[in-house]
Amino acid sequence: MTISVMDASPFADAVRAVAAHYGVKDKDVVPVPTQGQVNLTVFLGSELVLRIPRTTRAAEQLSKEAQVIALVRDAGVPTPKLVRYDSTLRVASVPYMVLQRVRGATLAEQAPDPTARQRTLESLGEILVTLHQIRFSKVGPVSSIPEPFTFSPTELLSELVEAGEIGTAQHDWLLERFTLLQPEGPSRADPILLHRDVAPSNVIVGHDGMVTALLDWGCAEWGSPARDLVGLPIRVLPDLLSAYRSALGAASSRDDRDGDLTLERDALWYHLYLALARLLNKPSTSEDRNWAAPRSATLLDFLAFTSSAVTEPWPALLRPISLSTEPV
C-alpha cells in the first residue's frame, strides 16, 4: 500500500509535499494500517512518521502535543522524538508533525502472551509513575495544557435520564455508587500531568512485552493520577494498579502506597463515569479499530468485573456498609 491509495484523500497533496521535503520517495510513503479519527498518520520510509490533523480542533491538539512531547521526554518518559512541528504552511497547506518512528507494535495490534503480560503492565506502571512526577505545583501553567476537567456525576446522570438511557431508579442507584466510591470525586489537589488516553492503540510494546513508548499526547491535561489507569480494559486494572503502586513506592521518599484504597476508589469512579458517558455517544460498529467503540462495551465490562469472582476489595467498594458481608 503506497501513496497512490491516498489519492482520494483531501490531504494527498500535503502528504506528497512533506514527503518530498524530507526526500522520501512516493513508494516509501505508506498510510498506517489502522487510522484514528483525529489525525491522518503516514509512514515516511522506515525512520519517520507524519501526522496531519483532520480538523481545526485536531490542529489545536497537535500544537499542544508538540509542547507536551518536549516536557515528557525531558522527564524521561519514552515517546517518539519530535522531528518537526510546522504550522507555517510553507511546506504544506496544513499544519503537520513529523516524528521519529519507533519499533514495536501497539497493544491493539499485538496483545502480549500471558508470560509477557506482566512485564507489559509492570513497565507501563513505571512509565506512568515517571510521567506523574510532572506536577502542576512544580512546572506551573503550560499554555496548551488545560486545567483539570470537572466531572459531574449528577449532570451526567441527568443527561442519561433525559436521553432515555436510564430511568429514575437507575439514576438514584448509580448516584449512590458514585457516593460510595468518592463522595466528592477523585481529588484534584496538586494535579499531575496526564496522558489521558492510555488506550491499547497508544501503547507500543516490544517482542519481550516491555512497553517502549507512549503515543499521541493530544489529550494531555492536568488531573488525578487514576485517570491514566482506566484506558485499558478493566480486567487488567488490579495488576496495573499493583505495578503502579510498586513503582510509586520506589519513586517516592514517602510511603504513597496508602492503605485507604484511594487509587482503587478513584479508578473505579473513573471507569464507571466514562462507561456511562459513552452511552451518550452515537452507535458505533468500529470494534475492529477500538475495543471500546460499542457504546455499552465498557459498561458491561465494568459490571462483569465488579460482579465476578475477582478478589476484594473491588466488589465491596460498590456495596453500602450495611450490605457488606460481616459475621452476625
* pLDDT tens-place string over residues 53-104: 999 999 999 999 999 999 999 999 999 999 999 999 999 999 999 999 998 9
Pairing mode, strands 96-100 and 82-86: antiparallel
Q: Where are the domains of the chain?
A: 3-101, 106-323
pTM to 2 decimal places: 0.89
DSSP state of 185: -
What is the grid cell recorded at 281?
A: 455517544
End-to-end CA distance of the chain: 68
How many whole angstroms separate alpha carbon 213 and alpha carbon 202? 8
How many whole angstroms separate alpha carbon 228 and alpha carbon 205? 18
Residue 328: which pLDDT band, with cuts at 50, 70 and 90?
very low
Q: What count of other Cβ atoms lies within 10 Å of the Cβ of residue 139?
A: 14
Residues 3-101, CATH architecture: 2-Layer Sandwich (3.30)
How many whole angstroms separate alpha carbon 303 and alpha carbon 306? 5
pLDDT tens-digit readout, 210-257: 999 999 999 999 999 999 999 999 999 999 999 999 999 866 544 444
| CATH fold of 106-323 | Aminoglycoside 3'-phosphotransferase; Chain: A, domain 2 (3.90.1200)
